[in-house]
Amino acid sequence: MAELRRILHIEDDPSIQAVTKLALEAIGGYEVLSCSSGAQALEEVERFAPDFILLDVMMPGMDGPETLARLRERIDLQRIPVTFMTAKVQPGEIEHLRKLGARDVIVKPFDPMRLPEQIRSIWAAGR
Amino acid sequence: MESPQASPASPPATSQPRELSRLAALLRYEILDTPEEADFDDFTELAARLCGTPIALISLVDERRQWFKSRVGLEVSETPREISFCTHTILGQEIFEVADARQDPRFRQNPLVTGDPHIRFYAGTPLTSPDGHNLGTLCVIDRQPRQLTAEQRDTLERLARQVIRLFEQRLLARRHAEQAALQQAILDSASSAVLVTRPDGIVSSVNPTAERLLGYSEQALLGHPLTSALFQPQALQRRAAILSSELGVPVEADFAVLIAPLHQGRREMSEWRLRHHNGSEVPVLLGVTAIRDEQERLRGYLVNAYDLAYQEQLQLRLQQIAAQVPGMLFQFHWRPDGAGGFPYVSEGIEQTYGLSPAQLASSFAPIYARVHTTDRAQLLAGIRQAANSLTPWHSEHRVEHPRKGLIWVEAHAKPLRQPDGSILWHGFVTDITARKAEQLELDKQQEMNRRLLEALSEAVIACDADGCLTLFNDRAKQWHGADTAPISPADWARHYRLYQPDGVTPLQAEQIPLMRALHGEHVSDHEMVLLGQDAPRYVLTNADPLYTSDGQPMGAVAVMHDITERKRIERLQREFISTVSHELRTPLTSITGALTLICSEVMGEVPTQLRELLEIARQNSQRLSALIDDLLDMDKLHAGQMRFDLIRQPLRPLLEQALHSNQSYAEQHGVRLHVGECPPVQVDVDAMRLHQVLSNLLSNAAKFSPPGERVDLSAEFGDARVRVSVRDQGPGIAAEFHERVFQKFAQADSSDSRPQGGTGLGLAISKELVERMGGRIGFDSEPGQGACFWFELPCSERPVAASESQP
């Protein structure tokens, strides 16, 4: 059983990017690569070889679902679970996002202290 | 008409008109074919004897025969006219004599000569009526030739005159008998009572009407003095005194009272009260006529009595009826010369014109003078028009009433043309001042209502009980782009383009507020969309059924209020809040996250003083996040975008979970949370939303409790509901705040300056959430006694008994 070490975080907002990275690295002890757009993530994903991908839904240009579809062409989503982060939780949206291939959905605003644990349990559930 | 016989023995033809009037004269005596009478037989017997002949006849000649009223010496009662000797006699004025018929060429071949009775001698004298017609003959006949002496001839002529006199007498007697029978019949059948007296006043005849009227039989009155039998002495005396002074001659208080005026050349009718056989009084109108014979001799008196009881009764009845009629009844007689009068006016005229009936007997002027001057011309024109067309007349006019002032009256009458060209009107007049005032008031009211309707910014529509649209005010016409159309309710939605609030689903007929109101429903704040010519118009409609004063359905009315602008503003507000909230959330997420990380000292130790400030910043950024979450929840609830996944589940674990997640918050306030009684029931709820509600109530309770106190969470079952209560020991809720507890931002409006935290949306959202799950929320609170917030959820299932729930 592989170990969760490397997390790819795709988020356009630099503040959230920073807080998330800090929480996951400082508290969770993970190695985090932050990407500011879907396009950048597609460039980096194979080289970085993440164990887990955290993906923002609302992004300018290529949004979360589209980025997910493009990621699916390059990596095995069964092996590398993708979890969305979204502020907008409309009825049925979580189901919709899961159907797109996401492992789970984390709702913003998130508690940075609990985030590493949340991700770990999602990752563990998929094993 | 028969032609004369052309026989040698025939007499010369007589002139036809003369013969016809002779036959008429003969028939007038009504004697042909009557039985034998001794009076006539005496004359034939005398004639035969005096002339010494075996045969004598009274022969009457009609158009086809001679018929013998009396005969001596002859068996046959008649012979044909053409062979008769008498036919010759009646052509002349004197005796016609044939000495020997066999020698006479006119009669030689006559069968009466050649055969039975073998006439040889004939002498006849005409029976001439007073008007000169020869009706027949008195004749003598012998079977031997002979001649009458001059004396015999003279005797025969005298006898003939006596026979004619006998004819006349007989006729007269018959006429008299008929006359008497006729008179009796008239008397018997007269509708008035008739009593006949002798000249001295003794009753000689009484007709049946009089018998009935007075109660006496004719027999009982015959031979009695009329006045003493039927009249009251006092009345006779009073009348006698009056007459004595009027006529200037003394009049006795007896029968003379009745006849004195007559003998003074006065024919008069007088009213009397006669004594009925049973003692009662009979009011009558009496007329007396003298009966005189041809010689003008007084033979008696005819006393006519007209029954006035019936008249009096009618009069009384009319008076009584008229007294019950509001207003006046009248009969108006209008003569061709324009003059008029009122033969009858009821007492009600005082009420309508302030006049008395007596003032109007012969003139229309007093009424006319009372009519308001401006209404007079129209009144007269109306009467003339009705008189000319003989159609019913109706008028409303004003009257200057001396007692009531200016009043309105209404008159109806029907004209009847009389034979003399005058017109008789029958009608009534009533005071309609009150009705008129009501009418004017009503008109004013209606005008007011109309203006009000047009001034309204709302659209008003109404229909009658049959669903016919009766009213669109200007606004309604404008909004619908149409006026009321005669269409059935089933077509309203299509014709007026009524849609559901979504603007695309047509309204069903039974959903239309006016239709629902027509079915008796009270409709309030029904939202729908009108698609007129312009953009969709959102309206809120209130509708109510209309009833008449006696509770009969009369239709319905609907008032539509345009909320298009409000909807637009609301939408903009929501969009604004939604946008702003989303935009706020992202930076807040970073701020909160950053502060949380710093405060956790993961990055390194934070100096104590700085740490306190950072903690304040962290808590307030979290509070800001909660506010934004609440705002978004509220928005979702209002937009109908919040989904509820109602799942049947046990209640107790939900309560325990809520307690658990709020425990740490409570601890911050030094308050203990406690779960008390909870029946083992299941509820249909969205666990996440129920959790939200419970968290809100528990955090509120903790927040408002003094440190060291306890907050009790419990549930009880009853009446198909389960009630969940959160009870605290705080200061309770001020009475003036009760109404606003569940309003948005209610806390922000509170005068309570104590910093309590919270967004002010929690209870408003909780209320919405509970109601969306089919429940209701409320609270009980006495200031100083703490507060108990509760919500109830439907729960048809009875709680399982404790023993059964044990495994």
B472 pLDDT above the threshold of 80: yes
What gap in Å lies between CA A54 and CA A118, rounded to an integer?
12
What are the beta bridge partners of residue B648? B684
Distance of alpha carbon B79 from alpha carbon B99, whole angstroms: 21
Do the beta carbons of residue B258 and residue B301 sit within 8 Å?
yes
| pLDDT-wise least confident of B272-276, B314-318, B389-393 | B314-318
Query: With bands split at pLDDT 50, 70 and 90, how would you rate the model's confidence at B759?
Result: low
Candidates A16, A20, A22; nearest CB to B586:
A16
Q: Report the gap between the CA of A113 and the closest CA in chain B (Å).
A: 7
Q: How confident is the model at residue B41 (pLDDT cuts 50, 70, 90)?
A: very high
Whole-number percent of chain A with pLDDT over 90: 47
> Percent helix, strand and coil across chain B, each rounded to 5?
45, 25, 30
pLDDT digits (tens, 9 = 90+) for B196-226: 999 999 998 898 888 988 999 989 999 999 9
- Asked if the model's pLDDT at residue B669 lies above 90, the reply is no
Fold of A6-125: Rossmann fold (3.40.50)
Q: How many whole angstroms separate alpha carbon B764 and alpha carbon B743? A: 5
Digit-coded pLDDT (tens) for B321-366: 877 778 888 888 888 777 788 888 888 888 888 888 888 877 788 8
pLDDT of residue B3: 41
Q: Is 50 exceeded by the pLDDT of residue B740?
A: yes
Asked if pLDDT for residue B61 goes beyond 90, the answer is yes
Q: Is the pLDDT of residue B733 over 90?
A: no
pLDDT band at B387 (very low <50, low <70, confident <90, very high): confident
Q: Is A109 on the interface with B (CB under 8 A)?
A: yes
User: Nearest-CA residue of chain A relative to B642?
Assistant: A91
Say what percent of chain A tops pLDDT 70. 94
Show residues of chain A in contact with B602, CB under 8 Å: 22-23, 26-27
CA distance B793 to B807: 27
* Per-residue confidence (pLDDT) for residue A89, from 0 to 100: 64
Q: Is the pLDDT of residue B752 over 70?
A: no
Q: Would you state the pLDDT for residue B183?
A: 82
Residues of A in contact with B582 (CB under 8 A): 87-88
Q: Residue A58's pLDDT band (boundaries 50, 70, 90)?
A: confident
Instruction: Render pLDDT for A2-51 as a digit per residue (tens, 0 to 9).
Output: 789 999 999 998 888 999 998 999 888 999 999 999 999 999 999 999 99
Which residues does chain B have within 8 Å of residue A22's beta carbon, measured at their own beta carbons? 594, 597, 602-603
For residue B750, the number of C-alpha atoms closer than 13 Å in the C-beta half-sphere is 24
Q: What is the CA angle A72-A75-A81, rounded to 5?
A: 80
pLDDT of residue B5: 40
Nearest CB among A15, A20, A109 relative to B625 is that of A109
Contact B597 A109 (CB under 8 A): no
The closest alpha carbon to A81, from A72, A89, A90, belongs to: A72
Burial class of B128 by CB neighbour count within 10 A (0 to 12, 13 to 18, 19+): middle
Residue B593: its chain A contacts at CB < 8 A?
Answer: 16, 19-20, 23, 109-112
- Given a cut of 80, whether residue B802 has pLDDT beyond it is no
Inter-chain CB proximity B602 and A26 less than 8 Å: yes
Side-chain-side CA neighbours of residue B145 (13 Å): 6
B380 shares contact with chain A (CB less than 8 Å)? no
Q: Which chain A residues are closer than 8 Å to B645 by Cβ? A: none
Domain ranges of chain A: 6-125
CB contact under 8 A, A113 and B589: no
A22–B590 C-beta distance less than 8 A: no
Interface test with A, best of B589, B621, B630, B632 (most A CBs within 10 A): B589
pLDDT of the residue at B800: 56
Residues, chain B, total?
807
CB-CB: which of A15, A27, A88 is closest to B582? A88
Please give the Cα distance from A72 to A80 (Å, whole number): 10
Q: Give B264 or B716, the one with higher predicted confidence.
A: B716
pLDDT of residue A7: 95
Higher-confidence position of A8 and B612: A8
Buried b (16+ CB within 10 A) or exposed e, B224-243: ebbbebbbeeebbeebbeeb
Please tell me the distance from the alpha carbon of residue B216 to that of residue A38, in angstroms, as a whole number.
139
Does the pLDDT at position B229 exceed 80? yes
Which residue from B553, B536, B531 is spatially nearest to B544, judged by alpha carbons? B553
The pLDDT score that the predictor gives to residue B98 is 93
Q: Please report the pLDDT score of residue B350 as a whole number.
A: 86
Confirm or reject contact between B776 and chain A (CB < 8 A).
no
Sign of CA dihedral B515, B518, B521, B522: positive
pLDDT (average), residues B505-518: 90
- Tell whether B602 is within 8 A of chain A (Cβ): yes
Q: How far apart are CA B483 and CA B474, in angstroms?
A: 9
- The predicted-structure confidence for B581-606, as pLDDT tens digits, reads as follows 777 888 888 888 888 888 888 888 88
Residues of B within 8 A of A91 (CB-CB) are 641-643
A19–B589: do the CB atoms touch at under 8 Å? Answer: yes
Q: Do residues B159 and B138 make contact, with C-beta atoms less than 8 angstroms apart?
A: yes
Least Cα distance to B399 among B327, B326, B322 occurs for B327
Question: Where do the DSSP E strands lie in B647-765?
Answer: 647-650, 672-675, 682-685, 710-718, 721-727
| Other Cβ atoms within 10 Å of B73 Cβ, number | 16
Say how far apart CA B500 and CA B662 lie, in whole Å: 43
| Mean pLDDT, residues A58-81 | 90
> Which of B719, B715, B720, B664 lies closest to B690 in space, CA to CA?
B715
pLDDT in tens, B139-184: 999 999 999 999 999 999 999 999 999 999 988 888 888 888 888 8
Looking at residue B750, its pLDDT comes to 46
pLDDT of residue B747: 53
Q: Which of A9, A16, A89, A118 to mutate to test the interface with B (most CBs of B within 10 A)?
A: A16
Please list every residue in chain A whose beta carbon sits closer than 8 Å to the beta carbon of residue B591: 15
Res B8: pLDDT: 43
**B590/A112 Cβ within 8 A:** no
Distance from CA of B595 to the nearest CA of A (A): 9
> B21-25, B611-615, B636-640: which range is least confident on average?
B636-640
Partner residues linked to A86 by β-bridges: A107
Minimal CA separation from B638 to chain A, in Å? 14
Task: Provide the token pair at B62.
Answer: 């009609």
List CB contacts of B426: < 8 A, sequence separation 6 or more.
Answer: B330, B331, B413, B414, B416
Is there a contact between A87 and B643 if contact means CB atoms under 8 Å apart?
no
Test B587 with A15 for CB contact under 8 angstroms: yes
Residue B401 structure tokens: 């009433």
b/e burial code for range B421-431 (CB count within 10 A of at least 16 → b): eebebebbbbb
pLDDT of residue B411: 92
Report the distance separating Cα A11 and Cα A87, nearest Å: 12
